Amino acid sequence: MTSDFALQVPAELETALQLKTVQYLVTKRPWLDLYGVNVRPVAPYGSASRRVNVDPALIHRCLPDELLFEVFSRMAPYDMGRAACVCRKWRYTLRNPIFWRNACLKAWQLSGMVENYKILQSKYESSWRKMWLLRSRIRIDGIYVSRNTYIRAGVREWKVTNPVHLVCYYRYMRFFPSGRFLYKTSGQTVKEVVKCMNFRASKTEGVFSGRYTLTDDKVEATFMYPGLRPTMWRAFLRLRGTTLGANNRLDLLSLSTSKVNGDGIIELEEDILGSVELQEDVISHQRGLAPFAFVPFEEVETSVLNLPVEKMDYYVPG
């Protein structure tokens, strides 16, 4: 007997069944059972070759992968994230880094393309998906709301001996990818305010426009209250999320206003901090520093933040 049984087999002519009959003559080699069996690589679950029957979904029957790709490339990143949970085919399609690269480059366009690529390599192992998930970003698809309440003692009237008012007001911030933002303080709820949070209304409605910068998870935002002696409003904020990658909270770390000399205002559009000469009297604000909660535009009508103060006396953004 030759040591290698396989050599004796006239290639592919004998079936595995016949080999078994001469088993007693040879050393046991169980893998020989595989001869004649049609071994193929296992196709991914849900792929066309694995399924014998037709895919019940019309969209899968009609659209080849490249057309499905086209549909996905027109979705917002948040819709893509949910679409990845629909079925295997969609998940595989959405693994394509191009989707996430586009989302990332849009979200951090302020950093610039070169810087984004550098950060991608140094911090996120060249994975755009990871960067999208882990790097802090300011959301532009909605409005950040900080709901503040305080108690004010009222004046004694008639039979009311010890009146107390619960006062509620909101800070609103809406960010734009260009590096500008809009700010408004108001007693109105979010569904009213969202209508005037645009640059067109920014002159009349008490909406102020300024500029912000984002470094890691820190946001620095400044704008000018106009007037004869302009006041600079300046806030330091920190981005976080209730879940990983949500970026739906903005903690207000510090808030200050300061009078500035008139000289710097000409260059206000360029760089507020660089051109303005600060005076000594910086007022640091200690009240109304409730964290901002993010309300996407689709949620503006239904958000709990619309509840009046008698229905919700205190809001914990979490």
Partner 1 sequence: MSSSAENPTLTTEITKPSTEIATETAQSAKKINLKTSDDQIFEVEESVAMEFATVKSFFEDAPSSTDTVPLPNVPAKPFSQVIEFCKEQIKFKANPDETEKKKSNSEFVKEKTNEDLVEMIPVANYLEIKDLLDVLNQAVADRIQNRSVEYVRSFFGIDNDFTSEEEALLREEHAWAFEDVDED
Contact between 140 and partner 1 per CB under 8 A: no
Q: Cβ of residue 208: shortest distance to partner 1, in angstroms?
A: 26
Between residue 68 and residue 127, which ones bind partner 1 under the rule CB under 8 A? 70-88, 90-91
Listed ranges 29-37, 54-62, 164-172, 199-207: which one lies at the site for partner 1 (CB under 8 A): 54-62
Q: Which of 30, 64, 308, 318 binds partner 1 (CB under 8 A)?
A: 64
Residue type, 129: R
At residue 197, what are phi and psi to the nearest 5 degrees? -85, 65
Q: Which is nearer to partner 1, 66 or 157 (CB)?
A: 66
Q: Which of 17, 48, 59, 151 binds partner 1 (CB under 8 A)?
A: 59
Contact between 133 and partner 1 per CB under 8 A: yes
Q: Is 130 exposed, middle or buried (0-12, 13-18, 19+ CB in 10 A)?
A: middle
| Whole-Å CA distances, 202 to 24, 174, 190, 209 | 92, 12, 16, 7
Between residue 268 and residue 297, which ones bind partner 1 under the rule CB under 8 A? 295-296
Q: Which is nearer to partner 1, 132 or 181 (CB)?
A: 132
Q: Cβ of residue 314: shortest distance to partner 1, in angstroms?
A: 22
Q: Cβ of residue 293: shortest distance to partner 1, in angstroms?
A: 11
How far, in Å, CA of 150 to CA of 169, rounded?
9
Q: Which is nearer to partner 1, 71 or 273 (CB)?
A: 71
- Both tokens of residue 232? 């600079």
At residue 293, what are phi and psi to the nearest 5 degrees? -105, 145
Query: How many residues make contact with partner 1 (CB under 8 A)?
Result: 46
Q: Are 37 and 29 in contact (CB under 8 A)?
A: no
How far, in Å, CA of 4 to CA of 24, rounded?
15
How far, in Å, CA of 318 to CA of 313, rounded?
16
Q: Cβ of residue 284: shortest distance to partner 1, in angstroms?
A: 32
Q: Which is nearer to partner 1, 73 or 261 (CB)?
A: 73
At residue 316, what are phi and psi to the nearest 5 degrees? -105, 110
CA angle (92 as vertex; 125, 129 as ends), nearest 5: 25
Contact between 52 and partner 1 per CB under 8 A: no
Q: Cβ of residue 242: shortest distance to partner 1, in angstroms?
A: 7
Q: Are 134 and 124 in contact (CB under 8 A)?
A: yes
Q: Cβ of residue 11: shortest distance to partner 1, in angstroms?
A: 39
Closest CA to 123 of 214, 216, 212, 213: 216
Between residue 190 and residue 249, which ones bind partner 1 under the rule CB under 8 A? 241-248
Per-residue mark of binding to partner 1, 293-312 (x: CB under 8 A):
--xx-xx-------------
Give the binding site for partner 1 (CB under 8 A).
Answer: 45-46, 55-60, 62-64, 67, 70-88, 90-91, 133, 241-248, 295-296, 298-299
